[in-house]
Amino acid sequence: MRRLLILEDGSVYEGEAFGSDKFQIGELIFQTGMCGYQETLSDPSYYGQIITMTYPVIGNVGINRDDFESMNPQLFGLVVKEYDDYYSNFRGKMSLDEYMKLKEIPGISGVDTRAITKKIRDNGVMKATLADEDEDVEKVVAALRNTSKVTNGVKYVSTTKSYTIPNGEYKIVLLDLGVKYGLIRELNKRGCSIVVMPYNATKEEILSVGPDGVVVSSGPGRSRYVSSVVETVKNIARKVAVMGIGLGCQIICEAFGGNIEEAKFGFHGNSCPVIKLESGKVEFTSQNSRYYVEEQSLENTPLKATYKNLNDGSIQGVRHEELPVIGVQFTAEASPGADDAKYIFDEFVEMMGGVR
């Protein structure tokens, strides 16, 4: 069956359908990872987005039971050059097509993903949707242009009830803005009991469990859409150690006076180089973000840049000069991608020990 990818600028790409036929309007982005599509699909940070995979062949290892980063995928569509329905993997349990039908995610293959990627690179992220081949393109384009972009996607991916994952010496409150299982695993491995709370948990609710530290997870969107979390971080930072990942890092930056800006096409990949400013060491990281902190906005704040992106010079990490507060824009837990920066979790555990 033929299917269309329609962009808000009127561009139309025709290809083959796979996955579900439930279509939604989302933000069209590109993702440069060469592997780990299952982890990418199940990353809650991709809520509301249609992902163009730059790696040409997707689906050849199927879907297994071990590599999910959340229970339900949150993306609105998948665009690939070549879809391989005949998977080969000893852990494989179903094809990608079967999984996407089960989870109501539409896909399109056989399109020029290089041309799509160049369009996004040159013109920026834009709204798009998948559609049946007989759809009225002009009506779809009009609908795209009249549809507001997704703002607070966090409320759709955050847990609604608190739950505990017991294990060890330190107690951490994990604010779920779209948490990945990889983050929970890394904290748990370091002897941390974790109380996962909804993104809108209050200062009083957080402190009532007596945490040694608070971790603000990554998630979709930007910090201005979750202003209540910004205020919460500002109010608890003098009482416990705080770490932010991805969106959590942006929240820390805004809480202490930084300004968050929207990137033209964002950072979405599994091996993005950053430099650690203190040592000059280059590390490869997994990244998934549409926003960044403006460097000049940190000049009169207590935050100090700790990492920068080697491709565009954007700030990728911060540390408070007086309080036990750190944040990284990249996903330090990887899943998928390079895990060079997992030591950041060890640093956070040391910080918690220092404020006990």
Residues of the chain with pLDDT under 70: 356
Q: How far is CA 243 from CA 194, 240, 335, in A?
A: 14, 10, 18
Taking the C-alpha atoms of residue 309 and residue 315, their distance in angstroms, rounded to an integer, is: 6
Bridge-based pairing state of the strands 26-31 and 57-58? unpaired
Peptide bond into 336 cis (omega under 30): yes
What per-residue confidence (pLDDT) applies to 339? Answer: 86
What per-residue confidence (pLDDT) applies to 168? Answer: 82
**Residue carrying structure tokens 């948990």:** 201
What are the two backbone dihedrals, phi and then psi, of residue 37, each rounded to the nearest 5 degrees?
-65, -30
* 27 membership: H or E segment, kind and range: strand 26-31
Query: Structure tokens of 315?
Result: 């700030």
Q: Are 192 and 171 in contact (CB under 8 A)?
A: yes
Q: pTM (2 decimals)?
A: 0.95
Q: How far is CA 307 from CA 179, 262, 283, in A?
A: 22, 19, 10
CA 128 to chain centre: 19
What per-residue confidence (pLDDT) applies to 206? Answer: 98
What per-residue confidence (pLDDT) applies to 336? Answer: 87
Q: Which domains does the chain have, with CATH numbers?
A: 2-146 (3.50.30.20), 154-354 (3.40.50.880)
Encode pLDDT of 310-340 as tens digits: 999 999 999 999 999 999 999 999 888 888 9
Q: Which residues, including other chains, have CB under 8 Å from residue 278's CB and lie 6 or more apart?
A: 306
Encode pLDDT of 135-173 as tens digits: 999 999 999 999 988 778 999 999 999 999 998 889 999
